[in-house]
């Protein structure tokens, strides 16, 4: 069975600080996808990134970067120079490639508060 653990529940930082959100996953599959979603107070889940299990290259998109390490089953998310608009709940999710469009298994989420 697949599982996603987000051990941090709440993080509070001051604007312009860097912050890293941790994600550890468990799966028996060798082929799988990992995702990060952002959920602002409005409730809608906003897609941030998708990585497949064969691509361990780190990715950077503006102030966001992701570090994927299969050896430790981790897919961590770093926000550089955080801003108040980054305040939200962040979810890491896993999809096993057992068939077309497999279900997403989510972690419990990390509430990030960025103070001005």
Partner 1 sequence: DAGVTQSPTHLIKTRGQQVTLRCSPKSGHDTVSWYQQALGQGPQFIFQYYEEEERQRGNFPDRFSGHQFPNYSSELNVNALLLGDSALYLCASSLDSWADTQYFGPGTRLTVL
Count of beta carbons in the 10 Å neighbourhood of residue 109: 18
Query: CA 110 from chain center: how many Å?
Result: 9
Piece in contact with partner 1 (CB under 8 A), picked from 19-27, 60-68, 69-77, 87-95:
87-95
Between 24 and 104, CB nearer to partner 1: 104
Give, as ranges, the residues between 1 and 60 that touch partner 1 (CB under 8 A): 4, 32-33, 35, 37, 42-47, 50, 52
Answer yes or no whether residue 63 interacts with partner 1 by CB under 8 A. no
Minimum gap (Å) between residue 76 Cβ and partner 1: 17
């Amino acid at each position: 069975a697949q599982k996603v653990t987000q051990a941090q529940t709440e993080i509070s930082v001051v604007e312009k600080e860097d912050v890293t959100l941790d994600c550890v996953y468990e799966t028996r599959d060798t082929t799988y996808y990992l995702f990060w979603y952002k959920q602002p107070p409005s409730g809608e889940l906003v897609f941030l990134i998708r990585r497949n299990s064969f691509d361990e290259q780190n990715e950077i998109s503006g102030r966001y970067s992701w570090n994927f390490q299969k050896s430790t089953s981790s897919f961590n998310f770093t926000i550089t120079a955080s801003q108040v608009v980054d305040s939200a709940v962040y979810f890491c999710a896993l999809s096993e490639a057992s068939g077309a469009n497999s279900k997403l298994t989510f972690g419990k989420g990390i509430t990030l508060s960025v103070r001005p």
